């Protein structure tokens, strides 16, 4: 089978590899099962890299440091425009609209 596969690989032009065909190599000698690390699924790779690392909620001290570092940094005009464009045309449900109005009223009464 490998000889037959190589015969077909020899018919493929090198510039067509990755564009027209899914093969990454034009050699039947590079077998996918020879390299067990490359056979792992994405989930297995992610699991392997996260083993032994904390991925839960951070400590209150760390959360306070992150929050403090983000405060006072204004958005650039370009970033503000991108945020505005992302929200344009989106319709809020009546329930969500009421919730937003209540939140805004609460915020406005606290600032005065």
**Domain definitions of the chain by residue range:** 2-36
Instruction: Reply yes or no on whether the pLDDT at 111 is more than 60.
Output: no
CA distance to 20, 30, 43, 83, per residue, from 16 (Å)? 5, 19, 30, 40
Task: Give Cα 22 to chain centroid, integer Å.
Answer: 23
pLDDT tens readout for residues 47-75: 888 888 777 788 889 889 988 888 877 88
Q: What pLDDT sits at residue 69? A: 86
Neighbour-count burial of 26, counting CB atoms closer than 10 A to its CB (0-12 exposed, 13-18 middle, 19+ buried): middle
Strand partners, 17: 21
**What percent of the chain clears pLDDT 70, i.e. is strictly above it?**
83
Task: State both tokens at 44.
Answer: 């297995």
């Amino acid at each position: 089978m490998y000889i037959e596969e190589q015969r077909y690989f020899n018919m493929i032009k090198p510039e067509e590899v990755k564009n027209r065909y899914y093969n990454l190599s034009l050699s039947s000698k590079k077998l996918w099962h020879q390299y067990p690390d490359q056979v792992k699924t994405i989930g297995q790779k992610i699991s392997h890299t996260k083993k032994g690392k904390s991925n839960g909620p951070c400590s209150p001290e760390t959360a306070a440091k992150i929050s403090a570092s983000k405060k006072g940094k204004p958005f650039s005009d370009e970033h503000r425009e991108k945020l505005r464009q992302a929200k344009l045309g989106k319709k809020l449900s009546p329930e969500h609209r009421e919730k937003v109005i209540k939140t805004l009223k609460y915020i406005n009464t606290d600032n005065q």
